[in-house]
Chain A
Amino acid sequence: AQSVSQHNHHVILSEAASLELGCNYSYGGTVNLFWYVQYPGQHLQLLLKYFSGDPLVKGIKGFEAEFIKSKFSFNLRKPSVQWSDTAEYFCAVSPLNSGYSTLTFGKGTMLLVSP
């Protein structure tokens, strides 16, 4: 079975700082990769996803992620965070050709951006 590991449970940054949230997964086959975000009081929404092609994926609100297959990693980045980026971020993986499109989530990283 696949698993997802997010490196940090809590991250605190000042506005304009750069962000990198680590995500590693374990699975022997091909996967689809996702980052979801949950803003305070809101429902979970997709930030970006990787299916194939260019391993550098751009998402909403200036976020991007890079898939490094050799490292089984899919780290999330943003060059300059804003106070409004305060949220919980979840990395998720879905194995291809598994029969069912289930997602396995990491435990989440809570990001607090101070103004």
Chain B
Amino acid sequence: DVKVTQSSRYLVKRTGEKVFLECVQDMDHENMFWYRQDPGLGLRLIYFSYDVKMKEKGDIPEGYSVSREKKERFSLILESASTNQTSMYLCATLGDREEDEQFFGPGTRLTVL
């Protein structure tokens, strides 16, 4: 079974803080993704990575950056957290076969005060 873990289920930070969200997968998948999930908006792609040290912007990258130093770990960074970044953040991983589907972690609910 694919296992995707995220460092925290709940996180509370203050405006202006630097925030790190960590995601680790144990399936040796090349591709990893960060989404945010908001009520009524579904899931929106922030960044993704198809290889170590490679990253691509998704649909809403503003205010975020990512780091992929090791294959199994993909970090989402909020350089200076703002209240509009309060959200549920989901990490996902994907194998290389065309018929593969994305596997999701449990999510981190971030509140920025």
Contacts and interface: CB of A to CB of B under 8 A. Distances in A.
A105 B31 CA distance: 18
By size class, the interface of chain B is 20 to 34
A36 B103 CA distance: 10
Contact of A44 (B41, B44, B56, B104): B104
Contacts of A46: 101, 103
Interface stretch (A61-69, A72-80, A94-102): A94-102
Contacts of A107: 40-42
**SS of A interface (majority):** loop
Given A9-B40, A51-B99, A100 B48 contact: yes
5 contacts: A32-B98, A49-B101, A100-B56, A101-B100, A108-B40
B58 interface: yes
Contacts of B42: 90, 105-108
A57 interface: no
A103 B99 contact: no
